[in-house]
Amino acid sequence: MSKALARRSPAQIGSAALLCAIALVWTTPFLWMVVAAFRLESGGSRDMASLLPPLQPTLENFALAFESADFAVYYLNTLLVVGGILAVQLVTISLAGYAFARLDFAGKDVLFTLFLLQLMLVPPILIVPNLTTVVRLGIYDSLLGVMAPYLASAFGTFLMRQTFKTIPRDYEEAALLDGARWWEVLWHVLLPLARPGLVAFSIVSVAAHWNEFLWPLMVVNAPEKRTLTVGLASFAAGAEGGQEWGLLAAGTLLVALPLVVAFLAFQRQFIDSFMFSGVKG
Amino acid sequence: MTRMIGTRMIGTRMIGATATALAIALLAGSASAATKIEFFFPVPVEGKLAREMGDIAKRFNAAQSDVEVVAVYTGNYDETKIKAQAAMQAGKPPAVALVSANFVLEFKLNDQIVPLDPFLAAEGTTKDQFLADFWPALHGNATVDGKLYAIPYQNSTPLLYYNADLFKAAGLDPEKPPQNWAQLIDYASKLTKKDGEQRWGLMMPSEYEYLGWLVSAFTMANGGTYYNQSYGGEVYYDAPSTLGALRFFDDAVHKYGFMPEGVTDQKAVSTSFFAGNAAMVILSTGTLSFVRENAKFAYKVAFVPGNLRNAAPIGGGSLVTFKNLPEDQRKAAWTFMKWLTTPQQLASWSRFTGYFAPRKSAYELPEMKAFTAQNPDALIALDQLQRYGQPWFATFNTVAVRKAMEDEVQAVLSGKKKPEAAVKDAQRKADEIMLPYVQSTALTVGTGG
């Protein structure tokens, strides 16, 4: 080990130092949030910019955050929305991706181009038409209404099509020779091999819908159906008043924590998946 | 093989999650005897206000049995507008919404809200009798074309806050705040400290929304009106009174150097004030409670200094009710709006938030008298509203027209543009945005309105 270290050139050490510096810059907002969440509010946030951990850490901000918002319900709602969207998406993108990768049908290329074009639309443009559809379906002010527009995913379909295309047809042909039907081929052969693609998509999907704010705000009215982001904003957003930094930091930490923990726990798998599928956040 | 088991497990979980989601969706929506109405509200100040608003709705629901209000938190003022308009177009208009007072005109031009005069007529009163109890400066933004479209609920104006300790240290008399722009420049320059820890003489927010409000305040203080207060298709961005206001902003940064360069948001302004890094700040009166709780030094408040006159445009929110409501909801909406705007309710919300109560009679209540006796600075803010209150900038497509000016002023504050060019470009952009409305109204002759 020490030999290996000694053999490092100054250039390598220099680049390592540079990487550390960049990492520090990137983690500073997160570090600040953690520190501020445990700091007692004093003097109208006079020391709010400090990155030094407080001498007397306090849980008061968290108590205030829990008092200001019904976090247990928000967590449950967010989990239902994120889980529900992902569950349906995995089905729809696998089937659609398979169709575009393996089946031949009239208008396939036109249809696929239309799918890709959908990626170019900015979501806020679709708020009114989507909301109208949601109202007509009778799922306004429900979590299903929050999920509805995302049950199919153009990005996911594209990703699965590309992933399936990288799998040699030999596997499928062997299964077909054994008398497997197309869905058996998809289930037993293609999907297991496409797992990194599915994982990569899942991460993007979960992170996107966990953080989504505007659409849940549009669809949901009842306080008990608020998601975490809407719930957080309901006590953190301010127009003309001041900011309670500690409370804001504690609330934000509560919202972000599950994703951070999940990322740390499955870091290796995440990175493998992204390397495999070539997806970047 | 383990892979396959893994996929199968995901499959089972998938079905489970979908079923749960469906069950929840089916459980949504249950009937009740009282007329159920939705009340959209943004959180205008900090902290626990969303919860307090929920409690207010609960108190109303407990006090009577005809109407059941669901208080729906809808983000900030802009998001509340997006949500109310989207819900309206999707066929689910909210019964009542608390909207930014300067969006009322636009809701009316879009034909989305209804006048309240018929409700008043049914009760044997008129708009003028009803408005008589509200501060005159609030009337403009509540009425369109002579009809009442909104009831003021929470209101504010800009206010000058200053650090009395720093005044003394700079040899200024804390009892004599600056009265006009000349004094403001003089004081701010004296209070600025460049060596050692930087201290600014004056700071004010220059983020979107706040900046447009303050530019209009300075323009009005400079004798202007900034926009046509009875027609939504005209602004006076390149008028001399506006140009003078922009020159003040430019000089504050680039000539006298008592204000920081670039765009400053209100959090930075209030935090700098508390930290003693800003001697004077101009912030909303809605911030008064927050300053009172957090300033650890002797702070004072004063009127925003004028140039040719004193002027303070109002801000805040008003209650409106939407079109296309079923008859029972229409009536319930009025019942709730009336209850929310009783002097008692307005006074209690005002004490909780720091906003003005829009009704004069709210200040006659014993609990309000006790409150203002304890917090005399609230009376200074109220005095400014009564003497110098002005209506709030409102046009066709208000936000875009406001941003046309804000983008230019931000360029001036950042040193990228001179005021003369900025006002011309702002005017040109604003005219483009308002053109469709202008063509369909003022430039269409003889269609009988």
Contacts of B51 in chain A (CB under 8 A): 68-69, 235
What amino acid occupies position B433? I
Contacts of B79 in chain A (CB under 8 A): 214, 217
What amino acid occupies position B329? Q
**B41: closest chain A residue by CA:** A234
DSSP classification of residue B316: E
Q: What's the pLDDT at B250?
A: 97
pTM for this prediction: 0.81
Q: What's the pLDDT at B12?
A: 42
In a 3-state reduction of DSSP, which class is residue B169? helix
Q: What's the pLDDT at B330?
A: 94
Sign of the CA dihedral B199, B205, B211, B217?
Answer: negative
Confidence check: pLDDT of A91 > 70: yes
* From A128, A139, A244, residue closest to B25, measured CB to CB: A139
**A189: closest chain B residue by CA:** B4
- Mean pLDDT for A112-129 is 86
The Cα–Cα gap between B324 and B376 comes to 45
How high does pLDDT run on average in chain A? 84
Q: What's the pLDDT at B341?
A: 96
- Give per-residue pLDDT as tens, A21-39: 999 898 888 888 888 888 8
**A139: closest chain B residue by CA:** B25
Confidence check: pLDDT of B430 > 50: yes
Instruction: Read off the pLDDT band of A49 (50, 70, 90).
Output: low
Tell me which of B135 and A28 has the higher pLDDT. Answer: B135
* Minimum distance, in Å, between the CA of residue A137 and any CA atom of chain B: 11
* Minimum distance, in Å, between the CA of residue B129 and any CA atom of chain A: 31
* Strands of the sheet with B315-321, listed across from one edge: B67-73, B35-41, B96-100, B315-321, B151-156
The Cα–Cα gap between B201 and B218 comes to 17
The percentage of residues in chain A with a pLDDT greater than 70, rounded to a whole number, is 87
Angle between helices B49-63 and B327-340 (to 10 degrees): 110
Instruction: Read off the pLDDT band of B151 (50, 70, 90).
Output: very high
The Cα–Cα gap between B82 and B115 comes to 21
Instruction: Read off the pLDDT band of B22 (50, 70, 90).
Output: very low
- Mean pLDDT for A50-69 is 76
Q: What's the pLDDT at B31?
A: 43
Which tokens belong to A117? 């074009």
Q: Do B70 and A80 touch (CB under 8 A)?
A: no
Dump the DSSP string for A84-122: HHHHHHHHHHHHHHHHHHH---TTHHHHHHHHHHHTTS-
Nearest to A216 by CA among A89, A127, A112: A127
- Mean pLDDT for A76-100 is 95
Which tokens belong to B245? 């206001």
To the nearest 10°, report the CA torsion of A153, A155, A159, A164.
Answer: 40
Task: Give the A window 121-160 contacts with B, CB below 8 Å.
Answer: 127-128, 131-132, 134-135, 139-145, 147
Q: Do B46 and A127 touch (CB under 8 A)?
A: no
Angle (CA) A52 A55 A58, round 5°: 105
Tell me which residue has tokens 């069950």.
Answer: B23
Which tokens belong to B139? 């009337």
Confidence check: pLDDT of A239 > 80: no
Q: What's the pLDDT at A243?
A: 59
Q: What's the pLDDT at A6?
A: 60
- Give per-residue pLDDT as tens, B186-239: 999 999 998 878 899 999 999 998 999 999 999 999 999 999 998 999 999 999
Nearest to B83 by CA among A221, A223, A69, A234: A221
- Mean pLDDT for B303-322 is 96
Dump the DSSP string for B407-426: HHHHHHHTTSS-HHHHHHHH
Beta bridge partners of B58: none
**B283: closest chain A residue by CA:** A240
Q: Do B294 and A144 touch (CB under 8 A)?
A: no
Q: Do A243 and B267 touch (CB under 8 A)?
A: yes
Distances (CA, A) of B204 to A47, B182, B335: 21, 17, 40
Beta bridge partners of A70: none
Among left, alpha and beta (phi > 0; psi -120 to 50; other), residue B415 is left
The Cα–Cα gap between B370 and B350 comes to 13
- Mean pLDDT for A186-205 is 90
**Which H or E run includes B340?**
helix B327-340
Task: Give the A window 185-214 contacts with B, CB below 8 Å.
Answer: 187-188, 191-192, 195, 213-214
The percentage of residues in chain B with a pLDDT greater than 70, rounded to a whole number, is 91
Q: Do A188 and B4 touch (CB under 8 A)?
A: yes
Confidence check: pLDDT of B21 > 50: no
* Bridge-based pairing state of the strands B35-41 and B67-73: parallel
Q: What's the pLDDT at A48?
A: 62
**B51: closest chain A residue by CA:** A68
Contacts of B50 in chain A (CB under 8 A): 68, 234-235
- Mean pLDDT for B420-445 is 94
CB atoms within 10 A of CB B346: 27
Q: Do A44 and B48 touch (CB under 8 A)?
A: no
**A46: closest chain B residue by CA:** B275
Q: Do A141 and B29 touch (CB under 8 A)?
A: yes
CB atoms within 10 A of CB B1: 6
CB atoms within 10 A of CB A116: 12
Instruction: Read off the pLDDT band of A3 (50, 70, 90).
Output: low
Nearest to B364 by CA among B380, B350, B343, B378: B343
* Residue B225: partners with Cβ closer than 8 Å, 6 or more residues away: B219, B236, B241
Tell me which of A267 and B337 has the higher pLDDT. Answer: B337
- Give per-residue pLDDT as tens, B78-128: 889 999 999 998 999 999 999 999 999 999 999 999 999 999 999 999 999
Interface predicted TM-score (ipTM) of this complex, two decimals: 0.75
Q: Do B274 and A225 touch (CB under 8 A)?
A: no
